[in-house]
Structure 1
Amino acid sequence: MNLRQLLQVLAFPVIATLGAGRLVSIGVLGTAGLVGLGYRYLAWQRFSFSFDGEVLRVEEGVLSRSARSLDVARVQQVEIDRGPVQRLLGLAALRVETAGSSAEVEVDLRVIEDDEAVALRDAIREGKARVSGTTRGAGSDDVAGDEPAVPTQHEVLAVPLTHVALAAVTGGRLLFFPAVIAGALQFAGEVFSQFLDDVFERLVENGVGGRPGWADLTLQAGLLLAAAVLVLAVVAAVVVGVLQDANFRVTRVGDDLHISRGLLATRDSVVPLRRVQLIEIQRNWLRRLLGYATVRIHSAGGSGDADRRVTVPLLADAAVDAFVGAVLPGVPRVPDLVAHPSQARRRVVFRWLRPPLVLVALVWTWNEVPFVPFVAPGWARVGVVVLLPLAALLGIVEHRHLGHALTDRIVASRRGALSITTGIAPVVKVQAASRTANWFQRRLRLTTVHAHVAGPGGDLEVLDAGEEAGRNLHVALVAHAADPVPVGPTAERGSGGGEAEPA
């Protein structure tokens, strides 16, 4: 049982016994704890699983029994999680997921021996390769159904610890911790308000070290407090980032990617290359200055959005092409993108100007509205007007980054101003394509193309392309969806519209 489940179980007895006294609360909590431990023990005793090379069978339940059989051919992703306590006891949790397990994992073996979890994961992978007809190798006389060869293995990527720490202080996680620390300080101030008020009064009256005038140092104290909060936020972000992504490694084993990460709690994931739906290369303004990017891999299967994504914390710009080639075999690098026409600049700038224009109108008419709770100061009017040229500048910057590309294997799109995102999707994953143009776009001879990608990654959007270029892209995507080229080093164009397997 994880912490969230434990809190959910204890919430009701704690709230129900708040007014009944301490002994009653302890008795109820103790009884609930004993009942819960007994139930978990019975559930563990009556839990069993087996795997014969083709079917994984699981039986579980205390009062109500359930039996589940999972064909190895349906397996899309296998993960091994090891929490701190599990690692200390030599245990692990193995999760088997399929393309249809959108709400929860298909099979969740939470407490098994670590060696047994690794052996079962390898057996599932070998069984899946055997069922899919993997042979002993190119040029071999073996036929489908023979014992599969030992897959080749090589390391694709190892993220240094310094890059993990740098990713923590240059990403969105750093923005989260100042709010948490400020909230904690506010909570502490409310709890110890009387004590802090007494200390503050003594300092104001007597000064520090007998020197009066401490009240004049209020500004300096505020700056020191802000600096302390910033330092604590940086330290907290680095600690959390290191605990989560230390020892981050990506290894290719046959046609699968093995991703391992974590310090105290570790996670080992297996993502089949043919299940990769979308790759996103993200660079915020700070990482662009430093020459780094974050790469996110979306795959089919997984029990939730977090399980369907694998995020490389930080990757040097020079290594992005090689990593993309490893994840999408047959795609040597990120393709050169076609820039969007100059008339798209007006559209992008207008899109950036809409929010500040609404804010300017609201602030400038605020004082004219009757019964407003407060009066907007004069500096607020000047401040919101300054946002207009900044928004226009960001629109010009985003127009410079807009672009798209289409090859016989992938479709790519790029957008963004402060944070630039390049999306790459295998054309074999494009199920359909659509093209839209509103009134403003039609006047500027622009269009937006959506490549509808199978799986949870979402659509790949080509924003504000030229009318002719968008039409050609739409026609080409429809043709690719009908006759896809599989992503693989020796792939050839297939004759049907189904999903082709990688070579």
Structure 2
Amino acid sequence: MVIVAALSWSTLSRIGLGWFALLVAVLLLGAVVLSVVSWYYTGYHIVGRELRIHDGLLWRRTRAIPLERLQAVEVVRPLLAQLTGLAELRLEVVGGGKTEAPLAYVSLADAVALRGRLLGLAGHAPQPPVGVAPEAVATGTPPPARGRLLHAVVNRDLLISQLLTPQAFFLPFGVAFVLSQFLYEGSFSFIAVASTVTATAGVLLQPVRRVLDDWDFRLAREDNAVRAHNGLLETRAQTVPLDRVQAVTVTWPLLWRVKGWLRLRMDVAGYAAGPEQDGRNRADRLLPVGLQDTGRMIVWEVLPGVDFARLALTPPPRRARWLDPLVQPLLGAALSPEVFAVRSGLITRQLVLVPYARIQSVRVVQGPVQRRLGLATVHADTAGGSGAAAHNRDLTEAWAMAAELTARARAARITR
């Protein structure tokens, strides 16, 4: 907060351009020195099936991470890291509230080799040979994904999909509001112009950031894991073992349905993912935009045997319309041989698929109005994810569904 206040436009107006430039230079120099010191005193080594990371100058800290808890590994490369041939390795573990033990920065070759070694020791994939191709290091780009390429998103479709969102429709109104405020004030000073540009950039940031984050998205099947590579200014190579996927959500935004598009996301146990709108912290990408046949193919790869287009979902009883008169015809639930499937949404429709082996608990919940109508909601909870909820089911059906979910979850965990 102190740095933000120091670099504000009001500070510039008070101290003048010369002192402001000196302040910026001092802050940048301090940030560089702190980053270099932090990097110099950070190290790691692998002891058995445990990754140990030590850091700190005045207060030394050592963290020991059992590799059995490893959920996913990301190789992240911001723009400066791409220019210098470096990369950051981010680890996600069970129960982590945030990214555990980010290693920044190491050479690209070391990051790729360490990623493969950690996944191999964790039992998610065979260990690859140490090192990467010399041409990959020379060009400063990650090596091509091993295994089978499942899909590559066309960047044109990505751009169009972002134009077909509510944010894009309200974007001109937001920009017009900012400019009208500027013209209404009638001040054309440097501070006023700079403030207007900053406010306009804030309005444009979210849709632009989504495009930059999902640019050149590629999904590949790598042994018993899926690997996603995406990003323009900041590239990410995320590897998620399939046995860590807790649920898959299929989403059909309103305007996308005209073109037959959908979006896929996955819940990963322990992954410190923010809300879907937080483009810089999304760790759940499976398909940013694509046709239904592409989505069916990807879901079949992640959840073998599941074809979401052929699921026979049953709606809640007609009396549920008193609670959700518009949504009630669109609600549905099904217990297929492989997953618990729940459909919901009016403007934006979505289908949640939860494998039985990932269900941690089952709940039957009744509100006061539901009790009067003889209805209940069945919740299937997963580890660290939102799970799935079948809303407004008949009470007898809800208890039978909960019992069946419990039995199938127990049987699926035994046969794993």
TM-score above 0.5, yes or no: yes
The alpha-carbon deviation at position 448 of structure 1 amounts to 1.5
- The answer to whether 1:400 aligns with 2:329 is yes
User: What pairs with 1:295-334 in structure 2 (closer than 5 Å)?
Assistant: 295-305=264-274, 306-334=281-309
Q: Name the structure 1 match of 2:155.
A: 161
Q: 1:340-386 CA deviation, whole Å, 9 max, x = no partner?
A: 2222223312xxxxxxxxxxxxxxxxxxxxxxxxxxxxxxxxxxxxx
> Residue 434 of structure 1 aligns with which residue?
363
Structure 1 residues 17 and 281: CA distance shift in structure 2, 3 A: closer
What residue is the counterpart of 2:68 in the other structure?
A: 73
How far apart, CA to CA, are the structure 2 residues paired with 1:95 and 1:345?
46
The partner residue of 1:127 within 94, 104, 121 is 121
Post-superposition offset of 1:404: 0.3
The answer (yes or no) to whether the contact 2:229–2:238 under 8 Å persists in 1 is yes
Q: 2:254 aligned with 1:285, yes or no?
A: yes
The alignment partner of 1:78 has SS state of strand
Q: Which amino acid aligns with 2:51?
A: L
**Compared CA separation, residues 253 and 440, structure 1 to 2 (3 A):** same
Structure 2: unaligned runs, 5 residues or longer: 128-144, 190-200, 275-280
Q: Is the alpha carbon distance of 1:325 and 1:87 closer, same or farther for their aligned partners in structure 2, counting shifts above 3 Å?
A: same
Correspondence for 2:353: 424
**What is the CA deviation profile of residues 223-248 of structure 1, one whole-angstrom value per residue up to 9, with x for unaligned ones?**
xxxxxxxxx99998875443221211
Residue 172 of structure 1 deviates from its aligned partner by 4.3
Q: Would the alpha carbon gap of residues 115 and 36 (structure 1) be closer, same or farther in structure 2, given more than 3 Å must change?
A: same
Asked if residue 40 in structure 1 is aligned to residue 38 in structure 2, the reply is no
1:113 deviates by 1.2
1:259 Cα offset (Å): 0.9
Structure with more of its chain in strand, by fraction: 2
Q: Deviations over 1:443-463 (max 9, x none)?
A: 4332221112221x2131111
The one of 394, 401, 409 aligned to 1:466: 394
Report SS of the residue matched to 2:76: strand
Q: 1:408 to 1:134 in 2, by over 3 A?
A: farther
**Counterparts of 2:216 and 2:249, CA distance in 1:** 22
Structure 2: which amino acid aligns with 1:292?
W
Q: Deviation string for 1:212-269 (max 9, x for gaps)? A: xxxxxxxxxxxxxxxxxxxx99998875443221211111111111111112221111
> Structure 1 counterpart of 2:237, which letter?
D
Give the Cα separation in 1 of the matches to 2:28 and 2:82: 24
The corresponding residue for 1:485 is 412
Q: Find 2:227's aligned residue among 258, 265, 283.
A: 258
Give 1:273's aligned residue.
Answer: 242
TM-score, normalized by length of structure 1? Answer: 0.67
C-alpha displacement of 1:133: 10
AA in 1 matched with 2:334 = A
Q: Normalised by the size of structure 2, how large is the TM-score?
A: 0.80
Q: Structure 2: how far apart are the matches of 1:64 and 1:290?
A: 56
Question: 1:278-315: per-residue Cα shift (whole Å, max 9, x none)?
Answer: 21111122122221111111111223424442252112
| 1:87 and 2:62 matched | no
Q: Distance in 2 between matches of 1:248 and 1:238?
A: 16
- Report if the CA contact (8 A) 2:72-2:93 is conserved: yes
Q: Which amino acid aligns with 2:341?
A: A
What do the CA deviations read for 1:61-118 (whole angstroms, capped 9, x no partner)? 122221222232221111111112211111111111211221x221111221112211
Which amino acid in structure 2 is aligned with residue 461 of structure 1? Answer: A
| Match 2:404 to one of 476, 483, 490 | 476
Which aligned pairs between 1:18-29 and structure 2 lie closer than 5 A? 29=24
Pair 62,248 (structure 1): closer, same or farther in 2 beyond 3 Å: same
- State the one-letter code of the partner of 2:317: P
The number of residues matched between the two structures is: 380
User: SS at 2:233's partner residue?
Assistant: coil
Distance 1:118 1:464, change over 3 A: same
- Following superposition, the deviation at residue 405 of structure 1 comes to 0.2
Q: 1:301 to 1:315 in 2, by over 3 A?
A: same
Contact 1:249–1:259 (Cα < 8 Å) also in 2? yes
Structure 1: gaps of 5 or more residues = 1-6, 136-150, 196-231, 350-394, 487-492, 495-499
Question: 5 Å matches for 1:116-155?
Answer: 116-129=110-123, 153-155=147-149
- Judge conservation of contact 2:228–2:286 (CA < 8 Å) in 1: no
1:393-435 alpha-carbon deviations (Å, 9 max, x no partner)? xx1xx22211100124311111121211111111112122122
Instruction: Work out whether 1:450 is the aligned partner of 2:367.
Output: no
RMSD, aligned α-carbons: 3.2
| Distance in 2 (alpha carbons) for counterparts of 1:464 and 1:428 | 24
Q: Which moved more, 1:418-427 or 1:42-51?
A: 42-51
419-428 or 36-45: which moved more?
A: 36-45
Which residue number in structure 1 is paired with residue 215 of structure 2? 246
**Residues in 1 aligned to 2:349 and 2:217: alpha-carbon distance in whole angstroms:** 24
Distance 1:191 1:39 in 2: 42
What's the secondary structure of 2:334's corresponding residue? strand
CA drift at 1:183:
4.5
Deviating more after overlay: 416-425 vs 234-243: 234-243
Q: CA deviation at 1:55?
A: 2.8
State the match for 2:142 in structure 1.
Answer: none
Change (3 A) 1:290 1:133: closer
State the distance in 2 between where 1:280 and 1:37 align. Answer: 41
| Counterpart-to-counterpart distance in 2, 1:42 and 1:301 | 30
